[in-house]
């Protein structure tokens, strides 16, 4: 089974090379991160031969604006020439966009996708399981039939349910428990277990959907590991928080580069959502982030209104009071945080990853 899964993934890499002809193999993906990954990041990743996803915006209408920005950033002669050689792509925007389904606005998503035709849409976190994903998939395919539908899941059960649904996705992103941001609250596992079992289970059922590995991948080592597990490509989130194109407060970004030992320094909790006034996330997902002073006070028994007061004061002060080593607000990041040490351009990150992957493959 093991070799069969990896051979299957290699065939999927060829499919990606056709679908996304500007990309280099293996496919390196900038994951959609709400607010943080904007059009500048997605376009920089495009220029380095990767696939960048714009994250959901603060409000639903932002997606259309972000896609319009990406479109104008890409409207130069160089890009037009590249795509002319690939007629199948000529009418699609070579960046993707992510939507958060549980509180998303399908009408706004349809408007954004039908106007700008991104090459891929990434769906995550439905309110009521596969049914809502099926509805979104059907509507978005009707809006732009060549746009690939990617669904991010964190369990084998979710992967199998999506694959057997009436509208299976074109790609499944398997998110391991190491991931920064929202992931499975209590039933997530690492991609070293999740990815190969999903690959084998889908192959045994005769299902041919490419798998992308995500969660804790920040350099060539993690990427090669995921490819060896049966991923056709890899997606990175936290590594791109430390990119020059990230829409991020400098103090947050400094924390991403400073923090080490993700097992100790990060955890999954809804506390930071609640302190920021975000309620309603389905219980099966909670975000991984740095555990700062708000968490310490919570553990020491401080009541929520006291935590909230201290949090709001720190946010008002801004900078390191909000995100520093003694900060108080949400600083979502990966369990692999200790491997992210410097801010680079998103294109440099992609190019370096490709170099490391090739070198590591030779060394193994
Ligand atoms: C700050 C942050 C925000 C995120 N926002 C989203 C999001 O809006 N939608 C989504 O599908 N995934 C989101 N994710 C998860 C990513 O899609 C991806 O699974 C994750 O970043 C991979 O793990 P890594 O951070 O270890 O690379 C977010 C991740 C981070 C770190």
Domain total in the chain: 2
**Structure-block tokens of residue 109:** 């998503």
Give the H or E element holding residue 52. Answer: strand 51-54
Closest ligand 1 atom to 237 CA: 21
- Whether 121 maps to a domain, the answer reads yes
Indicate if 219 and 307 belong to the same structural domain.
no
Q: What pLDDT is attached to residue 261? A: 98
pLDDT tier at 128, thresholds 50, 70, 90: confident
19 close to ligand 1 (CB < 6 Angstrom):
no
> What is the Å distance from ligand 1's center to 87 Cα?
32
Q: What per-residue confidence (pLDDT) applies to 78?
A: 60
Domain assignment present for 216 = yes
- Please compute the mean of the pLDDT values over residues 60-77 and round it to a whole number: 91
78 alpha carbon – ligand 1 mean position (Å): 30
Q: Tell me: do 264 and 295 sit in the same domain.
A: yes
Tens digit of pLDDT for each residue in 248-288?
A: 999 999 999 999 999 999 999 999 999 999 999 999 999 99
Q: 217 in ligand 1 pocket by Cβ < 6 Å? A: yes
Residue 125, helix vs strand vs coil: coil
Position in ligand 1 atom list of the atom nearest CA 332: 1
pLDDT tens-digit map of 286-307 = 999 999 999 999 999 999 999 9
CA 279 – CA 37 distance, rounded (Å): 22
d(CA 197, CA 1): 10
Using a 6 Å cutoff on CB, does residue 148 contact ligand 1?
no
> If we measure between CA atoms, which residue out of 247, 240, 212, 208 comes closest to residue 226?
212
**Domain of 299, in residue numbers:** 260-332
Q: By alpha-carbon position, which residue is closest to atom 30 of ligand 1?
A: 181
Q: Let me know if residue 167 belongs to a domain.
A: yes
Going from the Cα of 125 to the center of ligand 1, the distance in angstroms, rounded, reads 12
Q: What is the pTM of this model?
A: 0.97
Region 157-183: mean pLDDT is 98
| 179 part of a folded domain | yes
Strand order in the sheet with 266-268: 181-184, 285-290, 266-268
Our mutation pick for probing the ligand 1 site, out of 29, 30, 33, counting the most ligand atoms within 8 A of Cβ, is 33
Residue 255 counted as domain residue: no
- Quick check: CB of 34 below 6 Å from ligand 1? yes
Note whether 220 and 282 are same-domain residues.
no
Residue 156 lies in a domain: yes
């Amino acid at each position: 089974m093991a070799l069969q899964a990896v051979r299957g993934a290699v065939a999927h890499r060829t499919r990606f090379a056709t679908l996304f002809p500007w990309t280099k193999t293996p496919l390196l993906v900038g994951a959609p991160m709400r607010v943080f990954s904007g059009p500048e990041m997605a376009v920089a990743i495009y220029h380095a031969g990767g696939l960048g996803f714009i994250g959901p915006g603060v409000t639903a209408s932002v997606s259309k604006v972000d896609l319009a920005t990406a479109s104008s950033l890409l409207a130069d002669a160089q890009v037009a020439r590249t795509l002319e050689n690939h007629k199948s792509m000529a009418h699609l925007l070579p960046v993707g966009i992510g939507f958060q389904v549980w509180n998303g606005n399908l009408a706004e998503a349809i408007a954004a996708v039908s106007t700008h035709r991104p090459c891929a849409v990434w769906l995550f976190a439905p309110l009521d399981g596969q049914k809502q994903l099926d509805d979104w998939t059907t509507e978005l395919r009707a809006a732009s039939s060549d746009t690939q539908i990617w669904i991010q899941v964190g369990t084998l059960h979710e992967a199998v349910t999506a694959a057997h649904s009436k509208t299976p996705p074109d790609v499944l992103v398997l998110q391991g428990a190491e991931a920064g941001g929202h992931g499975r609250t209590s039933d997530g596992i690492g991609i070293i277990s999740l990815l190969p079992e999903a690959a084998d289970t889908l192959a045994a059922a005769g299902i041919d959907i490419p798998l992308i590995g995500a969660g804790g991948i920040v350099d060539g080592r993690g990427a090669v590991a995921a490819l060896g597990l049966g991923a056709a490509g890899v997606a990175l989130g936290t590594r791109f928080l430390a990119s020059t194109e990230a829409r991020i407060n400098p103090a947050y970004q400094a924390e991403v580069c400073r923090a080490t030992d993700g097992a100790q320094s990060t955890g999954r909790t809804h506390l930071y959502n609640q302190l920021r006034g975000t309620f309603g996330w389905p219980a099966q997902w909670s975000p991984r982030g740095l555990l700062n002073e708000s968490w310490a006070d919570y553990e020491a028994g401080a009541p929520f209104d006291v935590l909230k007061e201290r949090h709001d004061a720190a946010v008002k002060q801004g900078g390191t009071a909000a995100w520093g080593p003694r900060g108080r607000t949400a600083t979502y990041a990966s369990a692999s945080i200790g491997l992210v040490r410097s801010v680079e351009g998103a294109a440099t990150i992609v190019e370096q990853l490709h170099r490391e992957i090739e070198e590591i493959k030779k060394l193994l």
